[in-house]
Structure formats: structure tokens, C-alpha cells
């Protein structure tokens, strides 16, 4: 039920645990820390990945007009089937097992992926969750799975080694919530009581000078969450510096700039120019766009 893309790594087999040990050991040898992101795609999958079975979701609602890349090429994502409550309980246990596997592999903590239209986000948002049981209907019920997963993972690691990624107002993977301020405000206020490593908040892309309604940026959510807040969303060195100085965030995450600049931190320190990234190499493939971007002399 978990995989939705070709060539994505996992943490569910002894072989994978051993493989990850090589990665974590190399990171630690360089004095670094490394967290593993735990990710269940939910409806964003295809029977080709699932032994011919349908993808699963809170409700049988297909993402409109979407395809995913299977081993034999792009195919339309079908309508998923709704999970049974017993299966939801199994998924919570799977997250806990994955968290333990990550610990055995030498990671320093885990991030629960609750963003971008994947399973936990599908339960949170009212466009994809039409259930009328313990996991649907009220906001408390729609958030139930996320918090059960957070608690289960925290039992393995302790809450201070667990982070969570959220994307209020995000539309990726055909997502929409009727009141994202209320939905994610509730979630962040409850997360604030859990003593987490951090919350990783993806802000909507906003053109310079515009002030969209509703506000789904750190400006709105910062007062609701008292712990360490990481923001992401097309930040530059300059914009990142500004938001840190404002106190609206504690850290800034960079995605695409880091793909093209393995020495991004050093470049930021020196004010050096950045390599341009090549989107054609973002997913799959060989060394191109993976290990061939140059570092500073």
C-alpha cells in the first residue's frame, strides 16, 4: 500500500536497514546528523506497484486527471478504495515498525510526512476525507490518524527526535481544504504540546508584494506553535535571512537549491553564486543531476 513512484527507497526489509547503515555511517563520519522521512503515499499510487491491488485512501476519491510513473511508463491514477478501520490500525503499526527500523539503521531521528497530498494529508483535509467514523467528519477525527502516528513513532524515538512536515493550503496532488487556517491551526496547537524536534511547514508560493487571503504563511501559524519551526517554499538566501531575523521561523529548508549545490551552506556563507538546477534530472536516472553538480574550488 505504500509505494507510489519508481525507484523510491524503503525501510521495511533487513536488506534496506543494512543498506541505510552505510549512508548514516558516512554522514556521522563527517559530523552530520540525518533524519529519515516516513512516507505513505495513500491514493497517489497505481496497481502496478501494489500487486494489482487498488491504492488506499480515507475515501474512494481519485485525484483528478493525475498520472504516476510506473515501471512501464506513466499511467492514470485510479480511484482508490477506502481503508477499513482495522487497516488504519495496521498502518499506525507500520509507521512504528519503520521508526524502529530507522533507529536500527543508525538515523538520528525521523520526520513524519504529513504534507503534499499523501496519506496523512488525505485524512486531514475535507476534500479527500468523507468518512463518517472515528477517522472522519469532525476536525478532531480527521486529525486522529496523524496524531496516532506521531504518538506511535514517539514511543520508539522519544518526541524530541520526531519532526513532522505539513503543507497548509497546498494544492499538489489535487488537494483542497475548505478552511485550512482552522484545520492546520488545530493541528499546530496540538503539536505544540508534544515537545517535538520540529514542525516543517511548507508555505504556499506567494508572488512578491502580494498578501493572499487566507494567510497560510508562518506569519499566521507561528503564534500557534511554540516549538522549533522550519519553513520551506522557494526561499532564497536573502528571504531566508529576513524570516529568521523576524522571528517567524527558527530554520529555513531548501530543496531544489540543495539538489544543485551540495555545498549550499558554504555558498551561502560566502555569498557565492549558485549552480542552476536541471528539473529533468530530479526524479530517477543515473548520476546526472545526482552526483555531478560542481562544488566551489
Q: Which residues are catalytic, by number?
A: 118
How many Cβ atoms sit within 10 Å of the Cβ of residue 183? 20
The Cα-based distances of 16 to 8, 20, 96, 102 in angstroms read 12, 6, 16, 10
C-alpha cell at 144: 486522529
CB 110, CB 96: distance < 8 Å: no
28 DSSP assignment? H
- What is the pairing mode between strands 73-76 and 67-70? antiparallel
H/E element holding 96?
A: helix 85-104
Q: Three-class SS of residue 252?
A: strand
Residues 6+ apart with CB under 8 A from 171: none
Cis peptide before 46 (omega within 30 of 0): no
Q: At what angle do helices 85-104 and 144-157 cross, to 10 degrees?
A: 30
Cα 199 to the chain's mean position, in Å? 11
Amino acid at each position: 500500500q505504500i509505494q507510489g513512484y519508481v525507484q523510491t527507497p524503503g525501510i521495511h526489509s533487513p536488506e534496506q536497514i543494512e543498506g541505510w547503515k552505510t549512508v548514516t555511517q558516512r554522514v556521522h563520519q563527517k559530523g552530520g546528523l540525518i533524519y529519515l522521512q516516513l512516507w505513505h503515499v495513500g491514493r497517489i499510487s497505481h496497481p502496478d506497484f501494489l500487486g494489482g491491488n487498488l491504492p488506499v485512501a480515507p475515501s474512494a476519491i481519485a485525484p483528478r486527471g493525475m498520472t504516476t510513473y510506473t515501471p512501464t511508463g506513466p499511467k492514470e491514477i485510479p480511484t482508490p478504495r477506502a481503508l477499513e478501520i482495522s487497516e488504519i490500525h495496521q498502518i499506525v503499526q507500520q509507521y512504528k515498525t519503520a521508526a524502529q527500523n530507522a533507529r536500527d539503521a543508525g538515523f538520528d531521528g525521523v520526520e513524519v510526512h504529513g504534507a503534499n497530498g499523501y496519506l496523512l494529508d488525505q485524512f486531514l483535509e475535507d476534500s479527500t476525507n468523507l468518512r463518517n467514523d472515528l477517522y472522519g467528519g469532525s476536525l478532531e477525527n480527521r486529525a486522529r490518524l496523524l496524531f496516532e502516528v506521531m504518538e506511535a513513532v514517539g514511543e520508539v524515538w522519544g518526541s524530541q527526535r520526531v519532526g513532522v512536515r505539513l503543507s497548509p493550503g497546498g494544492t499538489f496532488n489535487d488537494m483542497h481544504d475548505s478552511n485550512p487556517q482552522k484545520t492546520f491551526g488545530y493541528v499546530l496547537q496540538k503539536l505544540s504540546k508534544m515537545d517535538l524536534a520540529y514542525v516543517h511547514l511548507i508555505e504556499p508560493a506567494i508572488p512578491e508584494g502580494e498578501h493572499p487571503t487566507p494567510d497560510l504563511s508562518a506569519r499566521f501559524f507561528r503564534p500557534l506553535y511554540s516549538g522549533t519551526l522550519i519553513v520551506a517554499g522557494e526561499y532564497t538566501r536573502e528571504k531566508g535571512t529576513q524570516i529568521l531575523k523576524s522571528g517567524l521561523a527558527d530554520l529555513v529548508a531548501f530543496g531544489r537549491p540543495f539538489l544543485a549545490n551540495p555545498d549550499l551552506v558554504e555558498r551561502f556563507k560566502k555569498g557565492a553564486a549558485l549552480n542552476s538546477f536541471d528539473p529533468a534530472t530530479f526524479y530517477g536516472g543515473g548520476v546526472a543531476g545526482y552526483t555531478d553538480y560542481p562544488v566551489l574550488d
